[in-house]
Amino acid sequence: MNFGVLALSFCKALLSTGNVLLVAVTALIGQTLSPDPIWSTLPVAFQFIGLMCATIPASLIMNKIGRKNGFYLGNMLGIAGALFCIQALYSASFNLFCTGTFFLGIGIGFGTLYRFAAVEMCEKPYRAKAISIIMAGGVLAAIAGPNLAIFSQDMIEGTPFVGAFWGLLVLYIAAMLVLTIVNFPPQVIHAPGVRTRPVIEIILQPLFLVSVIAAMVSYVVMNLLMTATPLAMHHHGFQFEQSALVIELHALGMFLPGFFTGNLINRFGTIRILLIGALTMLVCIGINLNGQSQLHFSIALFMLGLGWNFMFVSATHLVADAYSEAEKPKAQAANEFLIFSMVTISALASGWMEATLGWHIMNLMCIPVVLFAVLIVIYFRKKLNLGIV
């Protein structure tokens, strides 16, 4: 694997460390600062609103200014978000904290394109492995994120968790430094007469639909249950350190398979690994419905991360074949927007659902969502004669 992919994997690891850190602390901070418990995950929702708002512009901007400058811009917006959050915690301002997580979400939106940048650095036979390696960088995040959250909880007396956002600031600066040594492939300049299909025509391709629905479902279910877990554990009497450990195991489930998911796809086929991922998510839900002990939360969240990895990496591998080089900016923009618009809705709903419907009902509602993705994948596999592609 070339140096550029490994460097991007490290950049993604730094970004993911910040994401895991945010998962561990943002809902709890929101619960402290918000005027009503049902708004406790509103800062998380603003993070995903920022991400959603960035999806289309990020891809189009990078097409104009290049991958490297685009990633620089994303990291600078993340730095701004971390500074807003720091000030919000010092001033106990819920609105400013939501503003900060919004800017962090925009930075994360630019960072979601690391996996596509890695694909562009490789020949087609190595794409699945490149995507997998980018995801594997999150293993560092799985370990560093929750431990940074625990370490920073009381780092600065009188202002819980503010140290986490100072740490987040350092992570974004470090990612910018790593980017300086990455050589991206030169931009392809297309002749004015090159035909590209309308974006709606690209989206309505069965291959694009299969990949985007699979990615959407994996991310929505993962985000709903992941975001609500610290709140559910808090309501069941667990300490912050215990929920942070569960989030660490979840993040390991998300990113550790990155070392071998690409090889599994190459050996057994994209569709088969995608369906195994969906089954793994259903196992997670079954464990959540069976009990609320530390062991239940730990195993379930690990399985949730594993299922997300299999589904999301497989979906990314599929969608790369659904558009031409000239269609790349608008196709990737559409893909990211469709996925993260639904993830944003799930983030908005997560706190309300946990507070009003409860943990048990939340998990039950996720079952038909996962089954919907399974049925769509099976239907289109037969229609396109994909087999186990």
User: 33: which DSSP letter?
Assistant: H
3-state secondary structure of 123: coil
Mean pLDDT of 289-300: 91
Mean pLDDT of 136-153: 73
pLDDT at site 188: 62
| Domain boundaries of the chain, sorted by first residue | 3-184+199-384
Euclidean distance between CA atoms 19 and 96, whole angstroms? 19
pLDDT digits (tens, 9 = 90+) for 190-209: 555 678 888 899 998 889 99
Predicted confidence band of residue 161 (pLDDT cuts 50, 70, 90):
confident
Show the tokens assigned to 300: 């379930």
Predicted confidence band of residue 389 (pLDDT cuts 50, 70, 90):
very low
Look at residues 325, 331, 311 and name the one whose alpha carbon lies nearest to residue 204.
Answer: 331
101: Cα separation from own chain's centroid: 15
pLDDT at site 386: 54
pLDDT at site 162: 84
Q: Lowest-pLDDT range, 29-43, 70-84, 356-370? A: 29-43
Q: Is residue 313 over pLDDT 80?
A: yes
Q: Lowest-pLDDT range, 28-37, 175-184, 241-250, 252-261? A: 28-37
pLDDT at site 87: 92
pLDDT digits (tens, 9 = 90+) for 234-289: 888 888 778 878 888 888 898 888 778 888 888 898 899 999 999 999 999 999 99
Task: Report the 10 Å Cβ neighbour count for 194.
Answer: 11
Show the tokens assigned to 152: 């920073």
pLDDT at site 387: 45
Higher pLDDT, 121 or 372: 372
Mean pLDDT of 125-133: 75
Q: Is residue 388 over pLDDT 50?
A: no
pLDDT at site 214: 94
pLDDT at site 287: 95
Average pLDDT taken over every residue of the chain? 84
The pTM score is 0.74
Euclidean distance between CA atoms 207 and 114, whole angstroms? 22
Euclidean distance between CA atoms 21 and 144, whole angstroms? 8
Look at residues 159, 53, 34 and name the one whose alpha carbon lies nearest to residue 103.
Answer: 53
Q: Lowest-pLDDT range, 148-157, 184-193, 280-289, 300-309? A: 184-193
CB 133 within 8 Å of CB 231: no
Higher pLDDT, 24 or 262: 262
pLDDT at site 385: 55
Euclidean distance between CA atoms 19 and 114, whole angstroms? 15
Q: Lowest-pLDDT range, 26-40, 186-200, 210-224, 361-375? A: 186-200
CATH assignment, 3-184+199-384: 1.20.1250.20
pLDDT at site 189: 58
Mean pLDDT of 131-144: 74
Mean pLDDT of 131-142: 74
